[in-house]
Structure 1
Amino acid sequence: MEINDDLLVSHILGEVSPATAEEISTWRNSDPANNERYQQFRAIWETSKNINYIGTLDPQVSLQKLKEKAAMQKAEDDKVVPLNRKNSWLKIAAAILSFVGCGLFYLYQRNFKEIQLITKNEVKVDTLSDGSIVTLNKATSLKYPIRFRGKKRNVILTRGEAFFNVAKNKAMPFIISTGSTTIKVVGTSFNVKNKADAIEVIVETGIVQVTRNGNTVSLKPGEKVLVKQNPLLFRKEKNPDRLYNYYRSKEFVADNTPLWRLVEVLNEAYESKIVISRKELNELQLNTTFKDESLDDILVIISRTFGVTVEKKNGAIVIK
């Protein structure tokens, strides 16, 4: 299937079949540039819905400015994503204009200035214009406006993981778009992860609404939702541990935590490949806290606690 601009617009508007949605998901995950293109379209759509414009627009003038903008961007866009480029910006503009009125797309391009905060091998903390504080894990990308305008505070988590401590403002909800999922809050704290074609939201304080394809769940403190694209999954459950918080707290808190779960988090945190060779070891319970420990020191403690052997072999670490 050819993934063109019209198809992306239809997907954002929820007008494609489950099979087509799955193909678009595969296309997005095959190349970071593809996903970046999709997120650009979604950002335009989400922002255009919230523009509170008071004044008079001349449709012909606005359309002419839009065409000029498209012509200027065409050469640069052709180098980024292998899509069907013919009139691509006019197509997405047409979809938006049909919902929010002629000229709003141009206003968005002119007035909406955003920051893209990207982390590679470090954790970053930033304060947004409304006073909300966000902590980004490694390999994360977050887009947000220099100043929030309109009736909502919109940000986009393109990839990775972030913890949001949102400043309370009942009149201006805080909305995070990540993949095909939308997260809405007023003032609360929660963790969002968008990795490996799955989205996870864990709530620490307040109430969080998570929406996907028209389905919404409300999460309270200690609850989480897991969203997977393939196979389709939208499941709410109790969050079993505090290990998700390691990149903020610099510690791994194991409280009756099964070994498989700790290994899962260690592999993510240290970019390692730890393998449990025997199934009967998976559910061994661990009760301890590792604070600022090296991976080698943690493995030594695991070995001594359970009387197991830890062996490094062919680039992997085998627990047996």
Structure 2
Amino acid sequence: MTDELLIKFLLKETSEEETTAIEKWLAADPANISEFLELEKIWERSQLLAPKSPVDETKAWLNFKEKLSKKEKPLIQAIENTMPIKGVIPMKRKYTWINIAAVFVLMIGALIFYEVLTTEKYMELAANQEVIVQKLPDGSELTMNKKSALSYASEFKKDRSIRLDSGEVFFNVAPDKSHPFIIEVDEVSVKVVGTSFNVKHMNQQTEVIVESGIVKVSLKGETINLVAGERVLIKPSSTQLLKEQNQDQLYNYYRTKVFALKNTELWKLANVLNEAYDANIKVDPAIRNLSLTTTLKQNATLDYNLEIICQSLNLTYSSNGKEILLSNKK
């Protein structure tokens, strides 16, 4: 659509055929509506659309021209080319605000119609108090830890996009080179083709651990590639992406049903036990960095596993009904 024709339409100088063409153009894309509304806004500020106001038309045109020049100089020339008298734009009084309202109704209707047809629909999926396994339409498989929530595109075979709102999910992605598998977590983007990896988003932190294949992680324009055995932890204060070797398999407890510890620090183990048992374990700062190598079963009681931890590290634990404190023996 040319600028000249849009200006003619704004000035009510278009023919019936031209008007129909512009109306179809407006209905085709919300961006077209935005472009027209921007021009309409400048017009209104110049008071050229008030049919009953005794405006000095020459002065009003100069004012409109000055405002418009700050936006698009080519439009000014287009307007001038449509003027029957240089410097003056005659207003046709037969047009009323009803005509103008009709144009806006058309544009709003077109915008609603466009959004209904083009807005991507997402299917919500949540794991509440238990771990769930879910197959996606493309053949990929998700294992969601409890208290996790995400949504995925309804046309997933064509648009393999997922939004992880909270929690922890293990992705086993079906290969499809023509349709990358993309996960959005706040400002973090994870992109793969066919691979397996774990994503955890909790307490404003995002952790990605790769088991197989290559995973591309992006944040604010920076991108890194992770391969099997590597991880990245992204905090709100992170200014760059730093990958490192993953040291244990503790993150996998909700899939394997065991807590696999390998020189795992006590504070980290306590955090995972809190998630698994809905507990509130606190670790004395003096022992928080003690490490442990062993395997604990998730189907065992929390007290049983705490006893093993305390025996292994010569610790003790106590409970006041609200929290459990791990500390050195006195």
Query: Considering the TM-score relative to the shorter chain, is it more than 0.5?
Result: yes
In 2, Cα distance between the equivalents of 1:299 and 1:288?
Answer: 12
What fraction of aligned residue pairs are identical, expressed as a percent? 40
Aligned 1:147-166 pairs, distance under 5 A: 147-148=155-156, 150=158, 152-166=159-173
In 2, Cα distance between the equivalents of 1:307 and 1:172?
Answer: 53
Q: Is the 8 A contact 2:207 2:232 kept in 1?
A: yes
Match of 1:255 in 2: 262
Match of 1:15 in 2: none
Match of 2:26 in 1: 60
In 2, Cα distance between the equivalents of 1:248 and 1:201?
Answer: 16
Matched, 1:286 2:284: no
Change (3 A) 1:172 1:122: same
Select which of 98, 120, 135 maps to 1:127.
135
Q: What is the Cα deviation at residue 215 of structure 1? A: 0.3
TM-align CA RMSD: 2.7
Q: Is the 8 A contact 2:148 2:166 kept in 1?
A: yes
Match of 1:114 in 2: 122
Matched, 1:298 2:308: no
In 1, Cα distance between the equivalents of 2:183 and 2:285?
Answer: 40
Q: What is the Cα deviation at residue 232 of structure 1? A: 4.1
Q: Is the 8 A contact 2:222 2:240 kept in 1?
A: no
Select which of 198, 214, 218 maps to 1:207.
214
Report the TM-score, using the length of structure 1 for normalisation.
0.65
Match of 2:186 in 1: 179
Partner AA of 2:195 in structure 1: T
SS at match of 1:309: strand
- Larger RCO, structure (CA 8 Å, separation 6 or more): 1
Report the TM-score, using the length of structure 2 for normalisation.
0.63
In 1, Cα distance between the equivalents of 2:238 and 2:214?
Answer: 27
In 2, Cα distance between the equivalents of 1:279 and 1:304?
Answer: 17
Matched, 1:241 2:248: yes
Q: What is the Cα deviation at residue 260 of structure 1? A: 2.5
Q: Is the 8 A contact 1:311 1:317 kept in 2?
A: yes
In 1, Cα distance between the equivalents of 2:325 and 2:286?
Answer: 13
Q: Is the 8 A contact 1:310 1:318 kept in 2?
A: yes
Structure number with larger C-alpha Rg:
2
Q: What is the Cα deviation at residue 147 of structure 1? A: 2.8
Q: What is the Cα deviation at residue 155 of structure 1? A: 1.2
Q: What is the Cα deviation at residue 285 of structure 1? A: 2.5
Q: What is the Cα deviation at residue 106 of structure 1? A: 4.5
Partner AA of 1:263 in structure 2: A
- The runs of 5 or more residues in structure 2 that have no matched partner are 1-22, 34-110
Change (3 A) 1:190 1:281: closer
Q: What is the Cα deviation at residue 257 of structure 1? A: 2.2
Match of 2:271 in 1: 264
In 2, Cα distance between the equivalents of 1:314 and 1:232?
Answer: 40
